[in-house]
Structure 1
Amino acid sequence: MLATGRAWCAVCSRSPEARCLRAPPVARSKLCGPGGPHLAIVRGVEKRTLPAERWRELAATAVSEFADAGYERASLNRVIRACGMSKSSFYYYFESKQQLFEAVFAHLAGTIAGGLEVPEPEDFRADFWGLAGRFLQRLVVAAEQDPLFVNFGRMCYLSDVPAGHAGVSGMMAEIDDWLQRTLAVGRSAGAVRCDIPSGLQARIAIAVLREFDSWALQNRSALGAGELSGLVEAQLGVMKRMLGPE
């Protein structure tokens, strides 16, 4: 549901200014809750409900538009035409391109979080590099099975998203925090070198991982069968040589 007036999270009943406490970590944002706008509720004002099937069609079309064109060049007219909606119908549910972007981002973040099992940092203690490799391969499988997964990743790396966008910046910050805590476990387990300050090590690792991810996502359509998996194996090798103990 999407409504005019003040929206509240349907997952934890907190206001938009307060981050959702019960949604999956990757899905927390000012539009909190993993399900997108059809889960938003409004207290004391009219509810506006977009049918679930219509919302899924709109979300899939919008994420492709944002991923391909970028935020600034994305065209609401193209999205509306592709979905067979009228402008009046679209603006009944959404006030702006920014609101559509936020709703789509929150919806996909929740969908992906619900379908992707992310290990806890402590899980890496027994077999740090083995688990890292298996987790990266799970990401490859997800990317090969669902184009939305790839397009969502491309949305995360758009350079023209308005500065400080709560959904994108919040999710990237949580991923960075997860990586830092995972590296800390690796250091204490002897699987990650300790001769570099932990803060500097984390910044270097995050920068390298983001470059790999951004390049792979932008060039996914040009990669042949098995090439993405091979690239991920190479990525793991680079990280192991860079971070592993000498």
Structure 2
Amino acid sequence: MGSKAVLPPERRRELLGFAMEEFVRHGFGHASLNRIIRSCGMSKSSFYHYYESKEALFDAVVNGLTGELRDAVKVPDPDSLAVPGFWAEVTRMSDDLMGAAAVDCRLIDFWRLFYVPDAPAGDDGSLARVKRGIDDWLGRALAAGRAAGAVRDDLPPSLQGELTLATLWTINAWALRHLEETDIAEGQRLAHLQIDLLRGLLASR
């Protein structure tokens, strides 16, 4: 199959912006491709000139935000967390991310994509690849914490990872559902509470 044509940057950003809102609002299965292309004045034949399917469009949304945020948000190498002040560094990183989200709504848009109902879940999809990257970073960060003596070593690393992910995904899902009623101060309080919960679960005794 030949490669698809590439939209001009401005048109691409417009299309992906409408698509992101449609996916988040209606879920992947109920998202209307007609609504998306109509919102930016594109015909269906023109759309298929650039994208093979709605799933390809979803992948483009994920890839677009991931690429933009990779340059805008600096996430430290997890190996750098292998220091005595591990939990202070984790808290500082959380504060940095909250500060970035306060000035750049793309970070919030990015997290919203992880909670899109019935999003494409194939192992070769963009969202799955990003999740694997997050899982890998988290596993290395916890290993750094164990090396520093800050994270308990009496639990299997895979169990620690699953406990951490379950806590993060649950609190983030709640925060996104209540985004309209959460100001910056409350967001920071919840972020610190999240760290406190993780520390209670994982900190060495």
Q: Are the structure 2 counterparts of residues 109 and 131 from structure 1 closer, same or farther at C-alpha, using a change threshold of 3 Å? A: same
Structure with the higher fraction of residues in helix conformation: 2
In structure 2, distance between residues paired with 1:100 and 1:117: 26
- How far is 1:58 from its partner? 1.0
2:205 aligned with 1:208, yes or no? no
Runs of 4+ in 1 over 4 A off after TM superposition: none
2:66 aligned with 1:112, yes or no? no
- Kindly provide the amino acid, as one letter, of the partner of residue 153 in structure 2: C
The aligned residue for residue 143 of structure 1 is 101
The aligned residue for residue 90 of structure 1 is 47
2:59 aligned with 1:102, yes or no? yes
Q: Which runs of 5+ in 2 are unaligned?
A: none
In structure 1, distance between residues paired with 2:119 and 2:100: 25
The aligned residue for residue 113 of structure 2 is 155
2:199 aligned with 1:240, yes or no? yes
- Kindly provide the amino acid, as one letter, of the partner of residue 108 in structure 2: V
> Over aligned residue pairs, what C-alpha RMSD do you find?
1.7
- Kindly provide the amino acid, as one letter, of the partner of residue 149 in structure 1: L
The aligned residue for residue 168 of structure 1 is 127
- The superposition leaves residues 12-40 of structure 1 with CA deviations (integer Å, 9 ceiling, x where unpaired) of xxxxxxxxxxxxxxxxxxxxxxxxxxxxx
- How far is 1:218 from its partner? 2.9
**Higher RCO, 1 vs 2 (CA within 8 Å, ≥6 residues apart):** 2
Contact 1:193 1:244 in 2 (8 A): yes
- Kindly provide the amino acid, as one letter, of the partner of residue 194 in structure 1: D
Q: TM-score, normalised by structure 1?
A: 0.77
- The superposition leaves residues 194-237 of structure 1 with CA deviations (integer Å, 9 ceiling, x where unpaired) of 22222212221121112122222232222134111111011111
Q: When the two structures are aligned, how many residues end up with a matched partner?
A: 203
- How far is 1:154 from its partner? 1.2
In structure 2, distance between residues paired with 1:245 and 1:102: 40
Contact 1:63 1:152 in 2 (8 A): no
Percent identity between matched residues is 41
- Matching residue within 29, 35, 48 for 1:78: 35
- Kindly provide the amino acid, as one letter, of the partner of residue 115 in structure 1: A
Contact 1:59 1:104 in 2 (8 A): yes
- How far is 1:86 from its partner? 2.4
- How far is 1:163 from its partner? 2.9
- Matching residue within 60, 65, 78 for 1:121: 78
Contact 1:63 1:148 in 2 (8 A): no
- The superposition leaves residues 43-89 of structure 1 with CA deviations (integer Å, 9 ceiling, x where unpaired) of xxxx6231111111111111111112111111112211221222232
